[in-house]
Structure 1
Amino acid sequence: MRVAILSAIHPGGEGSGAATRGLLTVAGRSVAALQLDLALRLGCERIVCLAEGLDEGVLPLLHRAEQGGATFHALSSARSLSGLVRAQDELFLFAEGVVPDPLVVGELLGERSGIIALPAEPGIEAGFERIDRDHAWAGVARLPGSAVERLVEMPFEVDAVPALLRVGLQTGTRIVPLTPSLVSDRRWALLRDEQQARAFEAAWLNQRVTLSSFAAPVHALADRAAMVLAPGVLAQRGKAALPIAGGILGLGGALAAAWWKLPPLAFGAAALGTFLLRTGETVAAFLSEGRRSGIVARVTRVLPGLAVDAIILALVGMLAPVGELADWLFGGLALLLALRIAERSQVESLARAASDRGTLALVLALCAALDQTLPGIQILVLAVLAAIYLARGERG
């Protein structure tokens, strides 16, 4: 059996109100919860958390372990481990506050015992504990279960994880080197206080999504709104659907406003709906953490854009004066096709700007407010075609 040992004991900062290191949050989830997910991915069937008790910070770990098919034990004493771990078991140790890269841990420790270590100098600078002249422990180790038997020889109040690490070193467990660039790139960290947790959280989120530039203003604002919302959404994943639902309502409101012949309101509601849809897409990217691939992922990426284009074209048709439907639909279709071509441009700023339907809807709302919707569409078609021509000239 594989057994994971986590900790949530030591204070993460000064003051009585400071959270323990293991319960510092990253994107709405505690460090211990991230470690637990990694332990489940590694095949651990028993999770042991060293903590003062089963309080509100530790209780979610129990529920997550049970959802993952593992048993969970909260212990206040290292001595109690002897009844839960057998000599033939495999131990996965996690230092309190360490947030490792799951894929790297799987590669380094998936098959054999080992102690993951950094070179001493960069490791100590990053806050990791020196274990010998040349190495600092990177916060993750895999040891044989027999190491627990040595705990009975140690003082009752001994800190279990460092004690087991020392046993592993004394028994000759191999050192597995970790590339220091993983730490400098914020893919692996040891968090000791709230300030470090927030800095790592920002890097963690940025690694999962590339924020749009302000060449596409509505997309850029939506992506940054998603960054603000991400911690709360990741903590309570049921909230993830709210921006998408809001976007659908906004687009539905746009169709209703067009039905009632309110052009500025129709395009304004479409802009709001597009903003919320983009926010929801970015939040979904945080949730997926890059795991989606294949046909489903491609359809998921393409479908919202096609739906928004269809609604914008429908708005143009619904708002067309009597007898001018063909002219308006032709203009709207020409504009959308020109934008689709521009999206494929090798000039990034043009491609991003052309993909931003929220900004397009705002421009059309302004044109509608001036009662110049069709001339505005025609001017936009010419402007986009000119931009495509100039971009190709620059490339040539």
Structure 2
Amino acid sequence: MLAGLLFAIHDADDQPDRLAATLPFGGLTLIEYQARLLIAAGAAQIILVVSRPTSELLGAISRIGRRGVAVDAVRSAAEAAEKLHPLARVLMIADGLVTTEGVVADLAGEGGDALLVIPEADAPAGFERVGGQRAWAGVARLEPGRIAEVARLPRDYDMQSTLIRVAAQARAAHVELPIAALRDGHGIEHHAGSLDRRSRTVLAASVAGRRGWFDRYVLAPVARWTLPMLVDRKVPGEGVAAAGGVLGTLGLVGIGFGFAATGLIAVLLATMTLALGATLGDLRDQPRLVIAERVAAVAMPLAAILLFGWAVRAATYDGAPLSTAITLAVLAALGERAIPSASRRAWWGSPSAHLVVVAVSALLRVPMLGLAVAGVYAAMTLADAIERLRRQP
């Protein structure tokens, strides 16, 4: 069993009457975002160490509980030790830490004490030194006994810092933080203005980190510009989903009426809109909307490819484009079904990536070549994914 440990202790630097953990972050609060990372990593219980029960914190605790996990607010290590299951692995996130799902997932597996670290020379402000010219980077996996050890110490000790010291003295394993994570916004933040800027980077990185090259090099730059604007203006997730649906429908109609290149590009834009909407829905706790948008983001490119193959067949009186499009769609669908997002390699294809290949071929007026290249790409992706699965124990 995995349990999460979060902190709401420090006040915001620029808002002394407000806890840093309750500062706005992507349409919710920072501590809710941290809890979402823990839940995505498999946490079934979350313990919040709080200094005082503010109205913002109580609201955040209530919303975290709606995600289907047990949530307990405590004031000391002794209370935390009482709430923890004796066999639980504890995944701790520092007060005010901003990071991504991938970073947290790296420490969520089985094993003993482990600290996420970074070379001391590269450590931003707020990272605590742990010896060996390393600084703690804000995430730790702890055995429940560490919390019991801290509970036996005087209560005026800082619980977070003391847990790190105890784990370091117990020779906790060091897990290096990728330097790229710092570029993706990883860091400890207690200032509202700086947190807003950091949240923009992290939200874009979270989109890029879920998939392959399409999300990293096409969707992520768009997300970096549009997501903060959508969050700031409180655009509803339903509105984004509707916009994506309308745009995709118009694109499919355009393909059917002979405007293949324009229609394919419209469907591609619709797919990106739906992916952004799914990210917003995930942040705002709208699971049904998220599922619907993610399914549509996969189904719509495949429908466009099939319709494009049919349109080329109708124009050329040749059955090869349609049969190739059907083969491509089947291979791409099987790949999406078989490949977990967390283990997707950067070069692997996706329905959106295949749609890019087909759209470029339509613009260059070589439709059959594009369908064939995308089909081979889909086959290579699926074959490599199957081989990777076979090598797993």
Do they superpose with TM above 0.5? yes
Q: Deviations over 1:149-182 (max 9, x none)?
A: 2223322233222121111112222222222232
RMSD: 4.8
The residue number in structure 1 matching 2:110 is: 111
Distance in 2 between residues matched to 1:103 and 1:251, nearest whole Å: 30
The residue number in structure 1 matching 2:230 is: 229
Deviation for aligned residue 1:4: 1.5
The residue number in structure 2 matching 1:7 is: 7
Gap change, CA 1:201 and 1:150, over 3 Å in 2: same
The residue number in structure 2 matching 1:158 is: 157
Deviation for aligned residue 1:126: 4.6
Q: Deviations over 1:222-270 (max 9, x none)?
A: 995654113565xx9xx21124446878999xxxxxxxxxxxxxxxxxx
What are the equivalent positions in structure 2 for 1:177-326 lying under 5 Å apart? 177-183=176-182, 185-207=183-205, 208=207, 227-231=228-232, 233=234, 239-245=236-242, 280-281=273-274, 283-284=276-277, 286-287=279-280, 297-301=297-301
The residue number in structure 1 matching 2:330 is: none
Deviation for aligned residue 1:15: 3.9
2:231 partner amino acid:
A
1:134 partner amino acid:
Q
Q: Does the 8 A contact of 1:230 with 1:283 survive in 2? A: no
Deviation for aligned residue 1:299: 2.3
Deviation for aligned residue 1:191: 1.7
Distance in 2 between residues matched to 1:224 and 1:152, nearest whole Å: 46
Identity of aligned residues (%): 20
Gap change, CA 1:36 and 1:232, over 3 Å in 2: farther
The residue number in structure 2 matching 1:261 is: none
Deviation for aligned residue 1:6: 0.3
Q: Does the 8 A contact of 1:115 with 1:137 survive in 2? A: yes
Q: 3-state DSSP class of the match of 1:53?
A: coil
Does structure 1 residue 143 correspond to structure 2 residue 151?
Answer: no
The residue number in structure 2 matching 1:55 is: 55
Unaligned runs of 5+ in 2: 208-214, 250-265, 283-289, 308-354, 367-393
Deviation for aligned residue 1:108: 3.8
The farther-off stretch of 220-229 and 199-208 is 220-229
Q: 3-state DSSP class of the match of 2:298?
A: helix
1:153 partner amino acid:
R
2:106 partner amino acid:
E
The residue number in structure 1 matching 2:337 is: none
Q: Deviations over 1:104-153 (max 9, x none)?
A: 33234412131111111111x35311121411001111111111222233
Q: Does the 8 A contact of 2:274 with 2:293 survive in 1? A: no
Q: Does the 8 A contact of 2:47 with 2:72 survive in 1? A: yes
Gap change, CA 1:291 and 1:96, over 3 Å in 2: farther
Distance in 2 between residues matched to 1:103 and 1:250, nearest whole Å: 32
Gap change, CA 1:84 and 1:211, over 3 Å in 2: same
Distance in 2 between residues matched to 1:181 and 1:251, nearest whole Å: 34
Deviation for aligned residue 1:56: 2.9
Equivalenced residue count is: 295
Gap change, CA 1:388 and 1:25, over 3 Å in 2: same
Distance in 1 between residues matched to 2:58 and 2:291, nearest whole Å: 27
Gap change, CA 1:144 and 1:229, over 3 Å in 2: same
The farther-off stretch of 59-68 and 7-16 is 59-68
Distance in 1 between residues matched to 2:81 and 2:223, nearest whole Å: 52
Gap change, CA 1:181 and 1:15, over 3 Å in 2: same
Q: Does the 8 A contact of 1:151 with 1:163 survive in 2? A: yes
Distance in 1 between residues matched to 2:229 and 2:59, nearest whole Å: 26
The residue number in structure 2 matching 1:345 is: none
Q: 3-state DSSP class of the match of 1:300?
A: helix
The residue number in structure 2 matching 1:74 is: 73
The residue number in structure 1 matching 2:32 is: 33
The residue number in structure 2 matching 1:270 is: none
Distance in 2 between residues matched to 1:127 and 1:105, nearest whole Å: 18
Deviation for aligned residue 1:88: 3.5
2:30 partner amino acid:
V
